[in-house]
Every structure is written in C-alpha cells, then in structure tokens.
Structure 1
C-alpha cells in the first residue's frame, strides 16, 4: 500500500482511487451536510455508481496529468481528502482543495496533507503557483490557506453558485519561491 504518515495520530495520506468507491460513499454519508456547506462533492457522490464515477474521473485526470486526488485516513477510516482540482504543468499552475467530515475537523489534518501535496507539486512537478479557491464564508478553509503561507489575491464576487446561493470566492495563492522560503524558515525554527 502507498501511504504517507501525517503525524503521530494515526493519520495517513493515500491515493483515493476507484476501488475505494464504497469507502468514499460511506464517508460522504457521515459528513454530507457538513462537507456540502461550501463544496459540491456531496451533491455529486450520492450512490455507489456516482462515487465510482467521481473517483474514475480523477483517475483519468491523473493519467492525463491534469488533476490528483488523495484521501485522509485516521486509524484506517477515510475522513477527508485533498486534491489538485486542476493542474497545468506546462503553465506551472495548480488549484488545491480539501474537505473533511465533522469528526475530523480542527485537528490540523488538512493543513498537514496540503503541505505534502503542495511540496510535491512545487518540488517534483515544478509547479510555480498553487491556488486555493474558497467560499468567502468558509473560515476554516481560509485559515488553512493562511497556515500554508498563502496570500489573498482577491475576491471573485458572487462567482460560485451553490445550493441556491451565489457565494463570493476568495483566491489565495503561494508561489514556488515563497513556498521554499517558508519551508526554510520552518526548518530553521525547528533546529
């Protein structure tokens, strides 16, 4: 199995692949309303067929090198995920995102997982700019962007229709040189 530890709390980051469709569906059932406050994923994954289709779409995008999807497991239970919703390697850009079920919120799981995938994108794939698009009302996700060292680029006013309401979307980003400088600062503080 391919898994990366996210710390001493039993949390791991693993590829979230089509064969895990039942697990993803069960996870969505546990967190559907909480997860769906700001993102469409729970509205897209409503039964086993749609769960498989969602995961297969990301497997196809991974094969085309245009997106990636990982799950976050705690004690062998899927509790959330991180992804590159889009990746344009030629342009050096990627859009990161996340979700968690309520029981996993507030434990730093998304921040730790996002650090791993952003570091991979910057160091292994030569991505220059990683974006984080977030509904302006999603304080938890905005806090993650800040912890990742991202800067707020601006607001796309009422650009995101979701569940009958138009949301402002904040655009946050980190550039490769900023990412590396932030890592160096963290490493020096740790020594």
Structure 2
C-alpha cells in the first residue's frame, strides 16, 4: 500500500482497491448526478456489489498491466479519482481519465493527481503516448487536459453513447518527449 501526498492541503493519492468498495459507493452517491453528467461511472456503480465489481475489474487490470485506478482523498473523505482506463505496454500507450464529486471541484486535485500518474506512466513504465478523451461540453475536463500540456488532436463525432444520447468526444494527448520538456521547463505549460 502506498500513499502519495499531493500538496499542502492534505490531499492524498492512493490505489483504489476492492476492499474500499463501501467508501467508494458512499463517494459516488454524494456526487452521483454531477459525476454522471458526462461519464458512465455513476451508472455502473449503484450498490455495494457493483462498487466492488468495478474496483475488482481495475484490480485485475493492475495485475495484468492493462489499467490502474487511484483515489483522491482530502483529509475528510474520498472525493474523486484518476485512472488509466487502458494501458497497452506493447504499443506504449495509455488512456487516462478522471472524476470528482462537486465538493472537491476547483482545488486543482484532478490536475495534480493526473500529473502524478502520467509522470509514473512515462518515467517508470515507458509509456510514450497518454491520451485523454473528453465529451464535448465537459469544460472542466478540457481545462485539465490543457493544464497538463496536452494537445487537442480532433473530435470523434457521436462516438460515445451515454444515457441514450450520442456525444462527440475530443481526443487530447501528450507524448513522452513533450511531457519531459514541460517538466524541465514548467513556465507557461500549466
């Protein structure tokens, strides 16, 4: 078990493991409508069993090196998370994502957490390309991609079916050399 401090506000990043299903469900319940506006997480996690199953699926991804999930805790509670929805080490690509409950918005938590996991993926795991897919209209997630120094590559038209509606998906990415350059010279990249 590891915990990574994310700044002076007491925020922590740590793996979100299946034994935390009850805490995870309580967190999703607090932010269900907000979280569910753009992503399917709120619809996938509806009770104790589905919360455990969701976290177990990521434990299996971690064991097979095909994904990871991390929770973001403030001193009060689990408030959100970041993940690698996919990791393909043969292609050295990964798709990162995030979610947050409303009470934790506007504190930079997702940006800080995403920066930590992207740095780990690139520097420790040799990932060359980290992708960030976001529904058009999800301005907070687009802002995170920009703060991370990602490049907007294009739009997948009507690519994501969510709650009976088709959404366009913006594809953002950062490549390892760009990431390393931005870490060496952070001025103007955040």
TM-score by length of 1: 0.97
Which residue in the other structure is 1:151 paired with?
151
- Root-mean-square deviation (CA, aligned residues, Å) is 1.3
Which residue in the other structure is 2:71 paired with?
71
Which residue in the other structure is 2:90 paired with?
90
Within the alignment, does 1:128 sit opposite 2:128 as a pair? Answer: yes
Q: What are the superposed Cα offsets for residues 25-69 of structure 1, whole Å, 9 maximum, x if unpaired?
A: 000110000000000001000000000000000000100000000
Which residue in the other structure is 2:32 paired with?
32
TM-score by length of 2: 0.97
Distance 2:4 2:137 in 1: 31
Could you say what secondary structure the match of 2:30 adopts? helix
Following superposition, which runs of at least 4 residues in structure 1 exceed 6 angstroms of deviation?
Answer: none
Distance 2:137 2:167 in 1: 8
Could you say what secondary structure the match of 1:186 adopts? coil
Distance 2:125 2:91 in 1: 11
Report deviation, 1:186.
Answer: 1.7
Structure 1: tracts of 5 or more residues without a match: none
Paired positions, count? 189
Distance 2:56 2:99 in 1: 18
